[in-house]
Structure 1
Amino acid sequence: MNIGENIKKMRQFRKLTQKELAQKLGKTQQFIGKLEKNLNSPNFSTLLDIAVALEIPLDMLLDISPSDTAYFIRAMPDDFDLDKVNTLMDYFGMLNDLGQDKAIERVEELTEIKKYTEPDDK
């Protein structure tokens, strides 16, 4: 299953309409419909909000095991900026497969440039 199918399955399990879930999130029914059809990709913050609204663990939406989730959380550095990740994921989600492949290549290129990998002067 994918994220959209998981959202729909869990929403139906909770006996919520798309409109009711949308109201809990401060979104539109159309937004939920597009998520469920995988026409839009939610950012991480929205996924968290959906999990809270559906009263389920996040890993149920992501289709990963709880141990994978725990590993991901433990692997995050203390100064991890979730807002930057959300912004990056928002832009990434706007790209088609070719664009996503190119974005990954560009990020890999940036990791090879010393000024982008050394700690910032603060």
Structure 2
Amino acid sequence: MSVGENIKKRREEKGLSQMELASAIGVGQSYLSQIERGTKAASIQLGKEIAEILDCTLDDLA
């Protein structure tokens, strides 16, 4: 699985919408959608924020 697919899977497991996660990490929903689809890459810092909210590590998302 790609990083984006792992983010989407974990987000859905936590019951969060794209809008909810995007708001929590301070980005737009469309940007998060692009990350999940693999058309944009998240920075390490943004990845850390996503991992923290999704209760996992960066390695879990890789």
TM category (shorter chain) comes to: over 0.9
* Structure 1 counterpart SS, 2:41: coil
Q: Does 1:61 align with 2:61?
A: yes
In terms of Rg, which structure is larger?
Answer: 1
Work out which structure has the larger RCO, using CA pairs closer than 8 Å and 6 or more positions apart in sequence.
2
Count how many residue pairs are aligned between Structure 1 and Structure 2.
62
The one-letter amino acid paired with 2:6 is N
CA RMSD of aligned residues (A): 0.7
One-letter amino acid of the structure 2 residue matched with residue 21 of structure 1 = L
Can you give the 5+ residue segments of structure 2 that lack an aligned partner in the other structure? Answer: none
Moved over 3 A (4+): none
Report the counterpart of residue 40 of structure 2 in structure 1.
40
> What is the TM-score of this pair, normalised by structure 1?
0.50
TM-score normalised by L of structure 2: 0.94
Task: Measure the CA separation in 1 of the matches of 2:13 and 2:46.
Answer: 19
Distance apart, 1:29 and its partner CA: 0.5
Note the residue ranges of structure 1 that are not aligned, 5 or more in a row: 63-122
